Amino acid sequence: MRQLLNCPAPAKLNLFLHVTGRRADGYHLLQTVFQLIDRGDVLHFTLRDDDAIRRVTDVPGVPEEQDLIVRAAHKLRAEAIRRTGRTPPGVDIAIDKILPMGGGLGGGSSDAATTLMALNALWQAGLSRQELMDLGLPLGADIPFFVFGRTAFAEGVGEALQAVDVPACWYVVIEPGVAVPTAKIFTSEHLTRNTPLVIMSDFSSYLAKRNGLQGFGRNDLQQVATRLFPPVAEAVEWLGGYGDARMTGSGACVFCAFDSEEQADAVLAKVPGAWNGWKAKALQRHPLLDMSPSTESCEA
Ligand SMILES: C[C@@](CO)(OP(=O)(O)O)[C@H](O)COP(=O)(O)OP(=O)(O)OC[C@H]1O[C@@H](n2ccc(N)nc2=O)[C@H](O)[C@@H]1O
Ligand SMILES: Nc1ncnc2c1ncn2[C@@H]1O[C@H](COP(=O)(O)OP(=O)(O)O)[C@@H](O)[C@H]1O
């Protein structure tokens, strides 16, 4: 019988994001806290009778062979063959694309991470979580975090991860209606690249003292993005009227934390019609974290 798995690919927010230096290969060194939220894409995996890997949903602007989902599946298959000597069955992958592209929500990376976790289980490839993280890193710096699957303090380009506890809260997120290309932000002459290093306990003790998420650090990419993309600046200014509003990742989305769903709803009701606004709950763990093919998060 053909096996079908329906698997969530949640978004992330960067609660702060400091650019602390640059590697010899030009990639930037970061410090950030990645927060999973309960909104994301959903992927559907159906095993095939042959060995083809197919994306069966059209994603405008992303050709099938360039899709991180398809590239991740091919990488895992090559590794599975190397380990087991067997070619795993092919798979049709459908996607409900909810997250905006170029939104700083990590949609493409999360899709790829979910693909690695789901196919590792479906194909019984046997890679450990760390091995899946290592396999994903060359495809996207956020992929190891999504495989790691817990709110995390991250360093390096995002691959050195430590789990961190943050208070439960709700977020209002605004999509300002522009897609921000990550490379354009990192190559800007206006980017600050020397923010002093913090240690994880600075963040943790800040949270403990303040009993809330507001105010630690900043997003160094924000001043570049707001300069280049005025709608991002407008969203930061508007949402900033209700709390510490920030951009996530390299943009374009802007978020603000609230203690309760009611507070988030009250702000959401006022979001100007030109923007897509929504609320999401902070997740401590990725829904697939404890996945085996029979778990409920990935429904057969
Ligand atoms: C900024 C972050 C923060 O979580 O998220 P997003 O805004 O993309 O969600 C990530 O570090 C995004 O990492 P990743 O997903 O690998 O970025 P890509 O779009 O592949 O990178 C495009 C280009 O940006 C530059 N880049 C990216 C990451 C990094 N740490 N330093 C860089 O200099 C590189 O020139 C790279 O070729
Ligand atoms: N499955 C995918 N979903 C989204 N984007 C993808 C996917 N595969 C490849 N991409 C490419 O990755 C780029 C970044 O997308 P995404 O990860 O959603 O945004 P961001 O990096 O801003 O969080 C897209 O513009 C697209 O070209």
CATH 3.30.230.10 domain locations along the chain: 4-163
- For the segment 17-33, what is each residue's pLDDT rounded down to a tens digit? 999 999 999 999 999 99
Q: Which part of the chain has CATH 3.30.70.890? A: 170-283
Length of the chain: 300
Strand-strand pairing, 91-96 and 53-55: parallel
State the Cα–Cα distance between residues 249 and 219, nearest whole angstrom. Answer: 8
Give the CA angle between residues 274, 230, 16 to the nearest 5°: 95
85 a known binding residue? no
Interval 25-67: pLDDT, tens: 999 999 999 999 999 999 999 999 999 999 999 999 999 999 9
Ligand 2 atom at shortest distance from the alpha carbon of 112: 1
pLDDT for the residue numbered 1: 44
**What pLDDT, in 10s, does the model give residues 187-231?**
999 999 999 999 888 888 888 776 666 789 999 999 999 999 999
pLDDT at 183 over 50: yes
Q: Is 100 in the pocket of ligand 1 (CB under 6 A)?
A: no
Which of the four pLDDT bands, split at 50, 70 and 90, describes residue 135?
very high
ipTM metric: 0.97
Which ligand 1 atom is at minimum distance from the Cα of 29?
30
pTM of the predicted protein model: 0.96
| Pocket flag, ligand 2, residue 175 (CB < 6 Å) | no
Q: Which ligand is nearest to the CA of 31?
A: 1
Residue 141: the pLDDT is 97
Residue 287 to residues 9, 32, 81, 238, Cα–Cα distance (Å): 9, 22, 27, 32
Report whether residue 250 contacts ligand 1, using a CB cutoff of 6 Å. Answer: yes
Share of the chain above pLDDT 90, in %: 87
Give the mean pLDDT of the chain: 94
Annotated catalytic residue within 12, 67, 97, 279: 12
* CA nearest to 215, candidates 202, 232, 229: 202
Is 184 one of the annotated active-site residues of the chain?
Answer: no
- DSSP β-bridge partners for residue 54: 92
Q: What is the pLDDT of residue 4?
A: 73
**Class of the CATH-defined domain 170-283:** alpha beta
Contacts of 258 (CB under 8 A, 6+ apart): 169, 170, 171, 172, 242, 243, 264, 267
Q: List, for residues 110-128, the tens digit of each pLDDT value.
A: 999 999 999 999 999 999 9
Please indicate whether residue 12 is annotated as part of the active site. yes
Q: Given this model, what pLDDT does residue 297 score?
A: 56
CATH topology of domain 4-163: Ribosomal Protein S5; domain 2 (3.30.230)
CB-CB contact of 110 with 150 (8 Å): no
Give the confidence band of 290 by pLDDT, cuts at 50, 70, 90.
confident
Determine if ligand 2 sits within 6 Å of the CB of residue 41. Answer: no
Q: Which atom of ligand 2 is nearest to the CA of 251?
A: 22
